[in-house]
Amino acid sequence: MSDDNSDRGGSAPCFQHLIVAGVSIDLEAARDVARFRQAERVRLLAQRKMPLQEREHATKSLVSGLESVITPEPGLKIAVYWPIRGEPDLRQWMASIHKAGATVLLPVVGGKDQPLEFHKWSPGCEMMRGVWNIPVPQNSCAEVPNIVIAPLVGVDESLYRLGNGGGYYDRTLASLDPRPHVIGVGFANCAIETIFPMPWDVPMDEIVLSDGKSLP
Protein backbone atom coordinates (compact mmCIF):
# COMPACT_ATOMS: atom_id res chain seq x y z
CA MET A 1 0.00 0.00 0.00
CA SER A 2 1.42 3.33 -1.07
CA ASP A 3 1.26 6.63 0.84
CA ASP A 4 1.72 8.56 -2.39
CA ASN A 5 -1.25 10.90 -2.95
CA SER A 6 -0.15 12.12 -6.38
CA ASP A 7 -2.74 10.08 -8.28
CA ARG A 8 -5.69 10.47 -5.91
CA GLY A 9 -6.68 14.01 -6.61
CA GLY A 10 -6.90 16.81 -4.08
CA SER A 11 -3.97 18.67 -2.58
CA ALA A 12 -1.02 17.24 -0.75
CA PRO A 13 -1.09 17.46 3.04
CA CYS A 14 0.55 20.56 4.52
CA PHE A 15 2.98 20.07 7.37
CA GLN A 16 3.81 23.76 7.85
CA HIS A 17 2.13 23.89 11.23
CA LEU A 18 2.60 22.79 14.79
CA ILE A 19 -0.07 21.67 17.25
CA VAL A 20 0.41 23.33 20.65
CA ALA A 21 -2.20 22.95 23.39
CA GLY A 22 -4.67 21.82 20.74
CA VAL A 23 -4.07 24.92 18.60
CA SER A 24 -2.56 24.84 15.12
CA ILE A 25 0.41 27.21 14.86
CA ASP A 26 1.83 28.33 11.55
CA LEU A 27 5.56 27.65 11.68
CA GLU A 28 6.50 30.66 9.59
CA ALA A 29 4.47 32.93 11.87
CA ALA A 30 6.11 31.33 14.91
CA ARG A 31 9.55 31.99 13.40
CA ASP A 32 8.60 35.63 12.72
CA VAL A 33 7.49 36.05 16.33
CA ALA A 34 10.70 34.45 17.58
CA ARG A 35 12.82 36.82 15.47
CA PHE A 36 10.84 39.83 16.68
CA ARG A 37 11.22 38.79 20.30
CA GLN A 38 14.95 38.23 19.98
CA ALA A 39 15.41 41.70 18.50
CA GLU A 40 13.31 43.23 21.29
CA ARG A 41 15.23 41.24 23.88
CA VAL A 42 18.54 42.65 22.63
CA ARG A 43 17.15 46.20 22.62
CA LEU A 44 15.57 45.96 26.07
CA LEU A 45 18.60 44.32 27.69
CA ALA A 46 20.75 47.17 26.38
CA GLN A 47 18.40 49.65 28.07
CA ARG A 48 19.12 48.05 31.44
CA LYS A 49 22.54 49.67 31.41
CA MET A 50 22.29 52.74 33.61
CA PRO A 51 24.42 54.67 36.12
CA LEU A 52 24.64 53.10 39.57
CA GLN A 53 22.76 55.92 41.28
CA GLU A 54 19.92 55.74 38.75
CA ARG A 55 19.73 51.96 39.17
CA GLU A 56 19.60 52.23 42.96
CA HIS A 57 16.81 54.82 42.76
CA ALA A 58 14.82 52.68 40.30
CA THR A 59 15.25 49.57 42.45
CA LYS A 60 14.14 51.43 45.58
CA SER A 61 11.02 52.62 43.76
CA LEU A 62 10.32 49.08 42.55
CA VAL A 63 10.63 47.69 46.07
CA SER A 64 8.21 50.33 47.34
CA GLY A 65 5.75 49.13 44.72
CA LEU A 66 6.15 45.53 45.84
CA GLU A 67 5.64 46.50 49.46
CA SER A 68 2.33 48.12 48.51
CA VAL A 69 0.95 44.87 47.04
CA ILE A 70 2.58 42.18 49.23
CA THR A 71 2.31 41.82 53.00
CA PRO A 72 4.88 39.22 54.12
CA GLU A 73 3.74 37.00 56.97
CA PRO A 74 4.44 33.55 58.40
CA GLY A 75 3.16 30.80 56.15
CA LEU A 76 3.37 32.88 52.96
CA LYS A 77 5.76 31.39 50.39
CA ILE A 78 7.22 33.93 47.97
CA ALA A 79 9.42 32.89 45.05
CA VAL A 80 11.80 35.63 43.99
CA TYR A 81 14.99 35.28 41.88
CA TRP A 82 18.75 35.77 41.97
CA PRO A 83 19.55 38.78 39.74
CA ILE A 84 21.38 38.21 36.45
CA ARG A 85 21.89 40.26 33.26
CA GLY A 86 21.11 43.57 34.94
CA GLU A 87 17.81 42.50 36.51
CA PRO A 88 16.53 44.54 39.48
CA ASP A 89 18.38 43.36 42.60
CA LEU A 90 15.76 42.43 45.20
CA ARG A 91 18.07 40.64 47.63
CA GLN A 92 17.68 43.22 50.41
CA TRP A 93 13.92 42.97 50.05
CA MET A 94 14.21 39.17 50.15
CA ALA A 95 16.04 39.47 53.49
CA SER A 96 13.38 41.83 54.84
CA ILE A 97 10.43 39.59 53.95
CA HIS A 98 12.30 36.61 55.43
CA LYS A 99 12.72 38.60 58.63
CA ALA A 100 8.97 39.32 58.58
CA GLY A 101 8.29 35.58 58.62
CA ALA A 102 7.63 34.77 54.96
CA THR A 103 9.33 31.80 53.32
CA VAL A 104 11.58 32.95 50.46
CA LEU A 105 12.12 30.58 47.55
CA LEU A 106 14.53 30.76 44.61
CA PRO A 107 14.05 29.12 41.18
CA VAL A 108 16.20 26.12 40.34
CA VAL A 109 16.56 24.80 36.78
CA GLY A 110 16.37 21.01 36.88
CA GLY A 111 17.06 20.42 33.20
CA LYS A 112 16.46 21.69 29.69
CA ASP A 113 12.76 22.05 28.83
CA GLN A 114 11.80 21.15 32.40
CA PRO A 115 9.70 23.28 34.77
CA LEU A 116 11.51 25.22 37.47
CA GLU A 117 11.60 24.07 41.06
CA PHE A 118 11.52 26.59 43.91
CA HIS A 119 13.88 25.96 46.82
CA LYS A 120 13.96 27.63 50.21
CA TRP A 121 16.44 30.46 50.70
CA SER A 122 17.47 32.44 53.77
CA PRO A 123 20.18 35.04 54.39
CA GLY A 124 23.52 33.28 54.84
CA CYS A 125 22.29 29.87 53.69
CA GLU A 126 24.68 27.61 51.79
CA MET A 127 24.59 28.24 48.05
CA MET A 128 26.00 26.43 45.04
CA ARG A 129 26.34 27.21 41.34
CA GLY A 130 23.42 26.00 39.26
CA VAL A 131 22.70 26.21 35.54
CA TRP A 132 24.43 29.20 33.90
CA ASN A 133 26.37 29.61 37.19
CA ILE A 134 23.34 31.18 38.88
CA PRO A 135 23.58 30.69 42.68
CA VAL A 136 20.89 28.38 44.09
CA PRO A 137 20.27 27.10 47.62
CA GLN A 138 22.18 23.97 48.54
CA ASN A 139 20.60 21.04 50.41
CA SER A 140 17.13 22.55 50.13
CA CYS A 141 13.89 20.82 49.13
CA ALA A 142 11.43 22.10 46.56
CA GLU A 143 8.29 23.88 47.76
CA VAL A 144 5.25 25.34 46.00
CA PRO A 145 5.03 29.15 46.21
CA ASN A 146 1.90 31.21 46.86
CA ILE A 147 3.41 34.16 45.01
CA VAL A 148 5.96 34.18 42.18
CA ILE A 149 7.98 37.32 41.44
CA ALA A 150 9.07 37.02 37.79
CA PRO A 151 11.75 39.32 36.34
CA LEU A 152 10.75 41.06 33.11
CA VAL A 153 12.92 41.71 30.10
CA GLY A 154 9.76 43.15 28.59
CA VAL A 155 6.02 43.14 29.24
CA ASP A 156 3.14 44.05 26.97
CA GLU A 157 -0.20 45.75 27.49
CA SER A 158 -1.93 42.40 28.13
CA LEU A 159 0.65 41.50 30.82
CA TYR A 160 2.42 38.90 28.69
CA ARG A 161 6.05 38.58 29.69
CA LEU A 162 9.16 38.66 27.53
CA GLY A 163 11.86 36.78 29.40
CA ASN A 164 15.36 35.56 28.64
CA GLY A 165 14.10 33.12 26.04
CA GLY A 166 14.25 29.76 27.80
CA GLY A 167 10.51 29.45 28.43
CA TYR A 168 11.06 28.19 31.99
CA TYR A 169 8.51 30.42 33.71
CA ASP A 170 5.79 29.64 31.16
CA ARG A 171 6.32 25.88 31.53
CA THR A 172 6.41 26.17 35.31
CA LEU A 173 3.28 28.29 35.68
CA ALA A 174 1.37 25.99 33.35
CA SER A 175 2.35 22.98 35.50
CA LEU A 176 1.55 24.33 38.98
CA ASP A 177 -1.83 23.50 40.53
CA PRO A 178 -3.07 25.62 42.12
CA ARG A 179 -1.34 28.32 40.13
CA PRO A 180 0.39 30.94 42.33
CA HIS A 181 -0.25 34.66 42.03
CA VAL A 182 2.33 35.92 39.53
CA ILE A 183 3.81 39.43 39.70
CA GLY A 184 6.14 40.60 36.95
CA VAL A 185 8.75 43.16 37.99
CA GLY A 186 11.05 45.33 35.92
CA PHE A 187 12.45 48.74 35.17
CA ALA A 188 10.11 51.32 33.67
CA ASN A 189 11.46 51.10 30.12
CA CYS A 190 10.58 47.41 29.72
CA ALA A 191 6.97 48.09 28.66
CA ILE A 192 6.15 47.35 24.99
CA GLU A 193 2.92 47.26 23.00
CA THR A 194 2.82 43.49 22.41
CA ILE A 195 5.04 40.42 22.44
CA PHE A 196 2.65 38.76 19.94
CA PRO A 197 1.63 36.09 22.48
CA MET A 198 1.56 32.45 21.42
CA PRO A 199 -0.63 29.68 22.94
CA TRP A 200 2.14 28.58 25.31
CA ASP A 201 2.66 32.07 26.78
CA VAL A 202 1.23 32.69 30.26
CA PRO A 203 0.25 36.25 31.27
CA MET A 204 1.22 37.76 34.60
CA ASP A 205 -1.54 38.48 37.13
CA GLU A 206 -0.07 41.94 37.71
CA ILE A 207 3.10 43.92 37.13
CA VAL A 208 5.10 46.36 39.23
CA LEU A 209 7.54 48.68 37.48
CA SER A 210 10.14 51.10 38.79
CA ASP A 211 8.15 54.16 37.67
CA GLY A 212 5.39 53.27 40.13
CA LYS A 213 3.16 51.62 37.53
CA SER A 214 1.18 48.71 38.91
CA LEU A 215 -1.28 46.80 36.70
CA PRO A 216 -3.99 45.71 36.69
Q: Is the pLDDT of residue 211 over 80?
A: yes
Give pLDDT tens digits for 20-52: 555 566 788 889 999 999 999 999 999 999 999
Give pLDDT tens digits for 145-155: 999 999 999 99
Give pLDDT tens digits for 172-187: 988 888 899 999 999 9
Q: Is the pLDDT of residue 7 over 50?
A: no
Q: Is the pLDDT of residue 16 over 70?
A: no
Q: Identify the pLDDT of residue 23.
A: 53
Mean pLDDT (the chain, rounded): 88
| Identity of the highest mean pLDDT range in 11-15, 29-33, 82-86 | 82-86
Q: Which residue has the higher pLDDT, 132 or 41?
A: 41
Strands 181-186 and 147-151: parallel
Q: Identify the pLDDT of residue 12.
A: 41
Q: Is 52 exposed, middle or buried (CB count within 10 Å of its CB: 0-12, 13-18, 19+)? A: exposed
| High-pLDDT (> 70) share of the chain, % | 88
